[in-house]
Amino acid sequence: MKTLTSILMSLATSVTLLSGQLEVLQFSIQSMADGDWTDPKTWQPQRLPKAGDRVLVSSGTSVRFDAKTTPVIRLIQVAGALRFARDCNTELNVGLLKVQAGNRCTERGFACDFRSVNRKGEPNALPGQSLPTLEVGTQQNPIPAQHIARIRLHYLEGMDKEDAPALVCCSARMEFHGSPLKRPWVKLGTTCQPGDAKIVVKEDVSDWRVGDEIIVTASNKVRTMASDRDEDMGTEERMVKAIEGRSITLDKPLSLGHFGEGEFRSEVANLSRNVIVESADPNGVRGHTMYHRYSKGGISYARFVHLGKEGVLGRYAIHFHLVGATMRGSAVLGAAIVDSHNRWITIHGTQYLLVRDCVGYKSVGHGYFLENGTEVFNLLDRNLGVQAFRGQRLKDQDLPFDPNDGAAFWWANGRNVLTRNVAVENDRYGFRYDCQKRSNFDSNLRILMPDGSRKTVDVRTLAITRFEKNESHSEGLYSVAFAGTEGVGPDLRHPHILRGLKLWQTHYALRVQLPTMLMENVKIDHAAYGVYRPRFENHVYRNLSIAATGAEPFNRGLDDRSMQHGSITVDGLAFSKIGYGGNMPLIQISANNPSGKAESHFRNVKVRDRDPKRPGRWPLINLGGGPRLKPSTPKGVPYFIHDYFGPGKHAKVISARAKDLLGDGNKYHKENGLTGDESLVAQVTDKEFPELLHPVDDLPPCTIITRIDEHNDGLHVRGTTHDNGVVKTVYVNGIPARILSQAHGVADWSIQLPKSKSITATATDATGNREQIPHVIQ
């Protein structure tokens, strides 16, 4: 038990540390002229920065960082420009690096220190000075592949362990750009067997290098929710020993098999980059990085490793903090975020961010994370997320209902686009959408609208406009889970839309616990549960394939609650590689119909691989394999299979416990292969296949200018536009740009322009919606 004296001493120490962190500090050395870091003439006093120094790169000066290594500098404030050399290897060792205007600085590793900030140290107005700049390469001139630029973040005595070390951009410019990779991650090209020391990938990776760290992701489901984060899983780490085209020789043979043929394949990802930000002591106090409002810059092909403070709000590996639309045009491209103790990339109160071709490997808590539900118009495209582990709720987190239990991708506002992403071997979820209204959280939030206004809306009613061509496999529990809105959803003209999903080697493949959903071209393979715990209410399924799914391929409404709130249609459903079970049905009947209007309509249903010698096994429609509830509503749910007995001759299948349906005047009977021990069928006519949804496209595209290159004769402008439909035209300064490629609503474009003081980009989609918030750069 602590004595009063020890408690008072501890408090005194805490107060001393706090006052030190908040105290306006004196710099021990500062730049006086443009020059190299290693040139004493650059500095006043005329010496090189040494261990423990507080260094100011003064406004109006530009320092070229050319040091092979440095002692551990306590603090660097960049008020001018600090640019890393591109012709040599460099390494900066520092406790706190802040890019901000002025010569006023503290050792707070989160807050900004100039005068235009709120009490938390968050900028609320642009500082009225030139833009301080940290450049570790630029988009136009990244650090060349033969050189390495490294920043190592060190904790130093007297700093706040929950705040430092850190790399913070306060309304300034911060750039990290390594040598580009054509593809930072690819699919396997052939299947690998245990003992293989050479692998073949699907695409050319000749720009990968000998010595690079890579992972080969899991194929079989190994991970479970009970797994420890330090256990060996199905994903294997190796180094490149040799490389030729698509063939990679590993430093040691693989221990496991990995799928590389057919439709379901593992991934190979490169974790190495030649621009590196890292914690110097991964087992000690880790660092974090962040951009504040009004900042500029971005990240491409850089490695962020051993960062993130576990359990501490806002101290993430990469963090865009409440920047709103002030960083429109910024992007995180091809980054590798490795071994984070607090997320990979956090998008917090931020709009129009592009995150593409990134690799996230090992995170405590959700990996690619949209933090507070106000985020809109962000694009996450072609990213890989592997092994997001269970974390804990963070003190004072914005969304109190989020348990932070390990999703590769997690978001709460449907007006963000996720395309071509892959999630592998995460603790709880591959992809998780969740938005709840609770006593301690109001889901009515102030949101940026497509017309530029801001309105308070219940974000649960905003449809997921584009979730397409995403894939999840080898997960601990769920591949895709959309839930939490308590039955609140969008209207029939704006449904949640999911297309082109692949979900395999998983437990729960697809949990769609939201109303008003359109799901097309979904493939589920080797899952325990296929469509699981759905909230059946205006659900439309088209072209759904469920293979090798053993327990419950097409679950009843809300699983053991067995409740169907509204109607569903399924047009195109194929079951194959049927697994275990006796009377387990392929489609489970919901017992309860609380609205009295719920119906289930199917057509174009196929069952492959059924054993003709065992006709009673796997009936198509029956009560479920779990608790078979006694109906608690007056009406049951009828199931129609259209044209089952021939054109216009439909099968009406009911539960043998649904008294109202048994008395509807039809002649019910058993039918091998169709009904089970507690279901019956009758032939009916004059039943139309209903049209439940009436989707319209009335949302305009979103355009992001991602790069501007100056030439003698003009400008080369590039960008990306995304839409929930098809991008028709992108105009830049009123001139149509050339669309270089377009897939899944994501269009990359380019244009040559004469030199101009400002650039304005806007787009129109195929249905005529014109973007009302152009991207303007001046």
Splitting the chain (778 residues) into consecutive groups of 10 residues, what average pLDDT does each group show? 43 38 82 99 98 98 99 98 99 98 92 91 84 98 99 98 98 98 98 98 97 98 70 93 97 98 98 99 98 98 99 99 98 99 99 99 99 99 98 97 98 99 98 97 98 98 98 98 96 99 98 98 97 98 96 94 98 88 84 98 94 77 88 97 98 98 97 95 97 98 98 95 98 99 98 96 98 97
Q: What is the pLDDT of residue 334?
A: 99
Q: What is the pLDDT of residue 624?
A: 83
Q: 3-state DSSP call for residue 166? A: strand
Q: What is the pLDDT of residue 226?
A: 57
| Alpha carbon distance, N-terminus to C-terminus of the chain | 63
H helical segments located in 659-748: 659-662
Residue 688 tokens, joined: 């139309």
Listed in sequence order, the residues at least 6 apart from 13 whose beta carbon sits closer than 8 Å to its beta carbon are none
Residue with tokens 């010595």: 211
E-assigned strand segments in 325-453: 331-333, 336-340, 345-350, 354-356, 359-364, 368-370, 379-381, 384-389, 407-411, 417-419, 422-424, 429-434, 444-448
Q: What is the pLDDT of residue 130?
A: 84
* Cα–Cα distance, 131 to 173 (Å, whole number): 7
* Cα–Cα distance, 562 to 342 (Å, whole number): 38
Residue 485 tokens, joined: 């809105």
Residue with tokens 């069952």: 607
Q: Are 133 and 259 in contact (CB under 8 A)?
A: no
* Cα–Cα distance, 96 to 151 (Å, whole number): 11
Containing 507, the helix (H) or strand (E) segment is strand 502-512
Q: Are 238 and 208 in contact (CB under 8 A)?
A: no
Q: Are 508 and 528 in contact (CB under 8 A)?
A: yes
* Cα–Cα distance, 264 to 478 (Å, whole number): 17
Give the dihedral sign, CA 229/230/233/238: positive
* Whole-prediction pTM: 0.96
* Cα–Cα distance, 343 to 321 (Å, whole number): 14
Residue 19 dihedral angles phi and psi, to the nearest 5°: -65, -30
Q: Are 640 and 601 in contact (CB under 8 A)?
A: yes
Q: Are 347 and 354 in contact (CB under 8 A)?
A: no
* Cα–Cα distance, 706 to 281 (Å, whole number): 34
* Cα–Cα distance, 623 to 79 (Å, whole number): 69
Residue 397 dihedral angles phi and psi, to the nearest 5°: -65, 150
* Cα–Cα distance, 445 to 293 (Å, whole number): 20
Q: Are 542 and 572 in contact (CB under 8 A)?
A: yes
* Cα–Cα distance, 591 to 628 (Å, whole number): 8
**Cross-strand pairs, 346:** 319, 369
Residue among 363, 380, 419, 422 at smallest CA distance from 186: 422
Q: What is the pLDDT of residue 14?
A: 38
Strands 478-483 and 466-468: unpaired
Q: What is the pLDDT of residue 128?
A: 75
Q: What is the pLDDT of residue 6?
A: 47
Q: What is the pLDDT of residue 626?
A: 82
Q: What is the pLDDT of residue 739?
A: 99
Listed in sequence order, the residues at least 6 apart from 250 whose beta carbon sits closer than 8 Å to its beta carbon are 197, 198, 199, 238, 239, 240, 241
Residue among 575, 490, 574, 588 at smallest CA distance from 534: 588
Residue among 390, 419, 385 at smallest CA distance from 235: 385
Q: Are 338 and 387 in contact (CB under 8 A)?
A: no
